[in-house]
Amino acid sequence: MKPYNNRAWFLVLPVFLIVAFSAILPLMTVVNYSVQDTFGNNEFFWNGIGWFKELLDPKSELGGRFIDAMGRNFIFSFLILAIEIPLGIAVALAMPRQGIGVSISLVLLALPLLIPWNVVGTIWQVFGRADIGLMGWALTGMGIDYNYVSGVLAAWITIIMMDVWHWTSLVVLLCYAGLRAIPDAYYQAARIDGASRWAIFRAIQLPKMNRVLVIAVLLRFMDSFMIYTEPFVVTGGGPGNATTFISIDLVKIALGQFDLGKAAALSLVYNLIILTVCWVFYTIMTHFENAERRMQS
């Protein structure tokens, strides 16, 4: 390998300046808050690692909340990936390859992606209501006890269905792009060999979708792990704390209780988890790319 010429990094300077104000300065502030306590009015008192001790102690109030919320976050992200990825692949495989159907299905699929989060939340909040919402009314009419305001299971099903409705399209579009990039020659060869539909999927389509799938998993994991707006609008974290994810709890602590120190410590750990997962996915992705390039050359 020849050494990189790093001079192009200078072109990143303007972005760096913007990021400095939008991300780095706030991050520094959060780190400062995480080691101090405040009662407002810009007066701060040194607290050392006190907030972190509390946060990492499952027996304390803050620690217990954190562990619970993190558990819910991981369960949510796991369910989202377990549903959206296979569903997205299935829909992408079923999509038409040519003709007018392509444009129609692409536009239809892209529609949910264009709707702002809070609007999606509002749509589903109304949709699930037993008195005026189509889904809530229909389910109640069938004699099913469905109420996302009081039922834990109903609340979870609602937010998961909402996320599936909102974001499966993204997985579909990514997979569809991956499928379209497979040359016809592969399918012809498979047909000559008399390969079954499943064999074609396992040996040709899935390996060729490898990279877009990693991107899809990365994007869907990050987004679902950082979810805030939709559950906030639909359930507000309830019933009880059943759908209180870390981000919702974070806002409660920071803006509801005005515990800036606790919230800062919590957000730093939250950020660290996301950063780690991001790095792992990114490394896997670039690893794939490099391996592919080596194979080609």
52 binds another protein (CB under 8 A): yes
**Per-residue contact string for residues 224-263; x = within reach of another protein by CB under 8 A:** ----------------------------------------
Report the nearest approach of another protein to the CB of residue 47 (Å): 10
Window contacting another protein (CB under 8 A); options: 21-29, 84-92, 93-101, 187-195 = 21-29
* Part of the chain binding another protein (CB under 8 A), chosen from 39-47, 96-104, 115-123, 173-181: 39-47
Segment contacting another protein by CB under 8 A, of 131-139, 194-202, 230-238, 267-275: 267-275
User: Among 38-46, 102-110, 184-192, 214-222, which window interacts with another protein (CB under 8 A)?
Assistant: 38-46
Rule CB under 8 A: choose which of 22, 29, 150, 210 binds another protein. Answer: 29
Report in angstroms the alpha-carbon separations of 68 from 103, 181, 195, 232: 44, 43, 48, 17
Question: What amino acid is encoded at 249 in this protein?
Answer: D
**278-287: Cβ within 8 A, 24+ apart:** 278/218, 278/222, 281/214, 281/217, 281/218, 281/221, 282/218, 284/214, 285/211, 285/214, 285/215, 285/218
| Buried b / exposed e along 264-274 (16+ C-beta atoms within 10 A) | bbbbbbbeeee
Alpha carbon 121 to chain centroid distance?
15
45 three-class SS: strand
Asked if residue 269 binds another protein (CB under 8 A), the reply is: yes
What is the DSSP code string of 105-121? HHHHHHTGGGS-HHHHH
Output 113 or 284, the one with its CB closest to another protein: 284
Judged by the rule CB under 8 A, the positions of this chain that interact with another protein are 1-6, 25, 28-29, 31-33, 35-36, 38, 42, 44, 46, 49, 52-53, 56-57, 269, 272, 275-276, 279, 283, 286-287, 290
